[in-house]
Amino acid sequence: MNFLEKKKILLIISGGIAAYKSLDLIRSLTKLQCEIKTILTKGGTEFVTPLSVASLSKNKVYSDIYSAENETEIDHISLSRWADLILIAPATSNIIAKMSQGISDDLATTVVQASNKNIFVCPAMNVRMWEHASNKQNIEKIKSYNYRIIGPFNGEMACGEYGDGRMADIEYILKELDNFFKSKSNNKKFRAIVTAGPTREYIDPVRYISNRSSGKQGYEIAKSLFNNGIETTLISGPSKLIPDPNINFLKVNTAEEMYKKTVESLPCDVAIFCAAVGDFKVKNLSEDKIKKNKDLNLDFEKNIDILKLISKNNNKPKLVIGFSAETSNLHLNSKQKLQNKGCDWIIANDVSKKDIGFDSDFNEVSIFYKDKNVGDEIIPKTYKSVVADEIVKRVINQLNLI
């Protein structure tokens, strides 16, 4: 089955000797019944002509962001919304550097920054440029934006040198794109719930007890699930983050509210509980603001245990995953939590480390599985978006086995 059929591909051709391969790429995509629109960068025009690109794609070639004709259509918005997917092939170290820094000084980089679609990047450059520390950092940075990297391959360069940096073969690129759309199509049968952020447990109408959770990891997991074709509901405590507008978003404050919305959102195939739910709440909530001239004596009681209740719910999802924020004995505490809660996985991180966890864009997690035949795993320190993709990859694999 051809999963590329009738898909709309926006191809960005940047400068570099590998640009000539883009003509074969357009020809192959057209044969697979894709609709192709192209952006040819200034550097790209040094290697292929707009006429050759237009004749193969059967569509107008876009190039200059300052073109009055182009901008009457607000191309940097309309092109990004038109496409099912944006493919940058070849992607030079220059355009990769611009994308990593959010520089949008031409139509290609402006479209990328304005896009709400999946972006695939096919690097092509000299081996020394590919291996340069700055380029490696830029690649990791755009991965954190959920851009997907195809290649490069190892081989002989046009300059005569040999090594990594050669643009991926056309057949390989087509296979990656086809697999992406195939996965999205297959994953449409799945539904997911993700909880994220802190809860607020009120003392009086003004004051509350909360924690430092920003919600970043949960929001990234919800985004990755959605990007992989899974219908996703994100239930979030108070957070400054803006959710993807395509995700079903439910905002709550307290643990009781989060539990209620979770139950209302069932049934689903997977529930991932990233939220840092308050373990305790005030026993006797004051209806009026407590005056500071009074002694403050608070009695606490255990809060509702959302993870445990959903794990034992008659409508339990096929896969229930909890998170465990620890400051010591991560392995022991997480194993105990996995057993006590009755969930399928526990994903733990050490929040005592300042460079990961709360408020950070980075995380390092350990995954503990109820299935004793599956060994524990560690996802080393990386961007939370990359951690999310790694978790979702494992979730999809597991759902397809159930």
pLDDT in tens, the chain (402 residues): 899 999 999 999 999 899 999 999 999 999 999 999 999 999 999 999 999 999 999 999 998 665 555 555 556 788 889 999 999 999 999 999 999 999 999 999 999 999 989 999 999 999 999 999 999 999 999 999 999 999 999 977 666 677 789 999 999 999 999 999 999 999 999 999 999 999 999 999 999 999 999 999 999 999 999 999 999 999 999 999 999 888 999 999 999 999 999 999 999 999 999 999 999 999 988 888 888 877 778 899 999 999 999 999 999 999 999 999 999 999 999 999 999 999 999 999 998 888 887 889 999 999 999 987 788 999 999 999 999 999 999 999 999 988
Residue 393 lies in a domain: yes
Residue 111 lies in a domain: yes
Please give the residue range of the domain that contains residue 366: 188-283+292-399
- Say yes or no: 199 and 158 in one domain: no
pTM of the prediction? Answer: 0.89
Distance CA 192, CA 93 (A): 37
φ and ψ at residue 394, rounded to 5 degrees: -70, -35
Which of 185, 201, 236 represents a domain boundary (last residue)? 185
- Say yes or no: 176 and 278 in one domain: no
Total domains present in the chain? 2
Which of 162, 185, 208 represents a domain boundary (last residue)? 185
Which of 163, 185, 207 represents a domain boundary (last residue)? 185
Nearest of 90, 40, 83 to residue 63 by alpha carbon: 40
Nearest of 49, 41, 39, 46 to residue 9 by alpha carbon: 39
Residue 129 lies in a domain: yes
Do strands 345-350 and 319-326 pair parallel, antiparallel, or not at all (unpaired)? parallel
Q: Any idea which residues carry the catalytic annotation?
A: 159
Write the single-letter amino acid at 11: L
CB 41 within 8 A of CB 109: no
Task: Give the CATH number of the domain where residue 339 resides.
Answer: 3.40.50.10300
